[in-house]
């Protein structure tokens, strides 16, 4: 929600639109429609935070419009307040059943309109906030596994339908258990936070998603837009973590804390993109077994697997 919430007023009678608009003037960004079809077009074009909806309209009426809004993922969460005439009292129950959050009766009382709109915008703001928090990892502040799973399902399905490649990197901090055991949980948590931030910063392009995948495991989905190759990107991640200059605990490991990566670029073989997840996981395991501080990568359209070493090996 922007600084000024956006309210859409839908009523086939311009006089009613005017009364509602005057009641809400100043505090909101207002948009108007005198028909259901026009309202749908506006909702598709603009981010609308709340809708005041007349029930009785020619053509697409209030109920039909509400059904359409509830059927779409992007519009189903917009709170809708029905505006009904006093002789349509029976409609109110139907309205709540259909998913309206409240109703206002005509003739319109401006203080009541303002109070109801304020209340429902505030409820929506709190709901959005809770939802956002539920998608963020509490320790590192980046996207959590739930967010990753949702995003993956969406992008894999789209890439599968369009026959486009998806790029995924699964990342694991090397010898993290030793780090945690040696320094303790406080520094261990701090290490996770710093690695998460470094990975996130390295993947700053719009549309990239960096998520905490498990304990010391992270995942990056790269945007679908064309960009530098996956190998260069993996090198960037290896360097970003190495440049944190966090000490390794084990004498047989690199000087600085390192990561291992399994990276895949491929058109998904199914809508759920499971094959890509499994490949990345297998390649990550190979990177670990091969000596860590490296990325094992499977390129688009080739069966070849490449190994990229972190800089301390070069």
Which window, 10-18, 74-82, 141-149, 261-269, contacts Mg ion (CB under 5 A)? 10-18
Contact set for Mg ion, span 33-72 (CB under 5 A): 54, 56-57
d(CA 141, CA 192): 10
Q: How far is the CB of 65 from Mg ion (least distance, A)?
A: 12
Report the nearest approach of Mg ion to the CB of residue 27 (Å): 25
Give pairs for 18-24: CB < 8 Å, separation 24+.
19/108, 19/110, 20/52, 20/83, 20/108, 20/113, 22/110, 23/108, 23/110, 23/113, 23/114, 24/113, 24/114, 24/117
Nearer to Mg ion, 54 or 137 (CB): 54
Q: Write down the least CB distance from residue 103 to Mg ion, Å.
A: 14
Q: How many residues bind Mg ion (CB under 5 A)?
A: 4
Nearest residue (CB) to Mg ion, 12 versus 223 = 12
| Region near Mg ion per CB under 5 A, out of 7-15, 39-47, 196-204, 301-309 | 7-15
Token digits of residue 186: 């406080």
| Choice between 39 and 57, CB closer to Mg ion | 57
Q: 105 or 119, CB closer to Mg ion?
A: 105
Structure tokens at 311: 């800089």
| Partners of residue 171 on adjacent β-strands | 218, 261
Closer residue to Mg ion, CB minimum distance, 49 or 54: 54
Joined tokens for residue 13: 């009678």
Extract long-range pairs of 199-205: CB within 8 Å, 24+ residues apart: 199/142, 199/171, 199/237, 199/240, 199/241, 200/142, 201/240, 202/233, 202/236, 202/237, 202/240, 203/233, 203/237
Active site residues: 216
The CA distance from 202 to 205, in Å, is 9
- Residue 12 interacting with Mg ion (CB under 5 A): yes
Place of tokens 């077994």: 289
The least distance separating Mg ion from the CB of residue 128, rounded to whole angstroms, comes to 30
Q: Is residue 300 within 8 Å of 265, Cβ to Cβ?
A: yes
Segment near Mg ion (CB under 5 A), from 8-16, 136-144, 275-283, 300-308?
8-16
Give the shortest CB-230-to-Mg ion separation in angstroms. Answer: 56
Which residues bind to Mg ion, rule: CB under 5 A?
12, 54, 56-57
């Amino acid at each position: 929600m922007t600084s000024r919430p956006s309210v859409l007023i839908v009523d086939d009678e311009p006089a009613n639109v005017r009364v509602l608009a005057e009641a809400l003037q100043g505090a909101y960004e207002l948009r108007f429609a005198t028909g259901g079809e026009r309202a749908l077009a506006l909702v598709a074009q603009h981010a609308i935070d709340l809708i005041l909806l007349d029930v009785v309209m020619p053509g697409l009426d209030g109920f039909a419009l509400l059904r359409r809004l509830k059927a779409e993922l992007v519009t189903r969460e917009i709170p809708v307040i029905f505006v009904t005439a006093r002789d349509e009292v029976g409609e109110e129950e139907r309205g709540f059943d259909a998913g309206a959050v409240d109703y206002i009766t005509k003739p319109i009382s401006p203080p009541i309109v303002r109070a109801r709109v304020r209340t429902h915008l505030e409820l929506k703001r709190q709901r959005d906030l809770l939802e956002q928090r539920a998608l963020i990892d509490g320790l590192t502040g980046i996207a959590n596994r739930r967010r990753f799973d949702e995003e993956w399902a969406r992008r894999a399905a789209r890439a599968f339908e369009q026959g486009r490649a998806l790029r995924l990197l699964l990342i694991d901090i090397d010898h993290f258990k030793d780090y945690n055991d040696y320094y303790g949980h406080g520094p261990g948590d701090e290490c996770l936070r710093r690695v998460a931030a470094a990975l996130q910063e390295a993947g700053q392009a719009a549309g990239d998603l960096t998520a905490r995948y498990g304990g010391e495991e992270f995942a990056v989905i790269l945007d679908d837009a064309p960009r530098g190759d996956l190998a260069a990107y993996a090198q960037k991640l290896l360097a970003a973590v190495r440049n944190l200059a966090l000490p390794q605990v084990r004498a047989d490991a690199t000087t600085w804390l390192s990561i291992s990566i399994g990276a895949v670029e491929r058109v998904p073989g199914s809508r759920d993109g499971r094959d890509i997840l499994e490949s990345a996981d297998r390649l990550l395991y190979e990177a670990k077994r091969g000596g860590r501080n490296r990325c094992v990568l499977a390129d688009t359209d080739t069966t070849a697997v490449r190994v990229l070493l972190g800089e301390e090996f070069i």
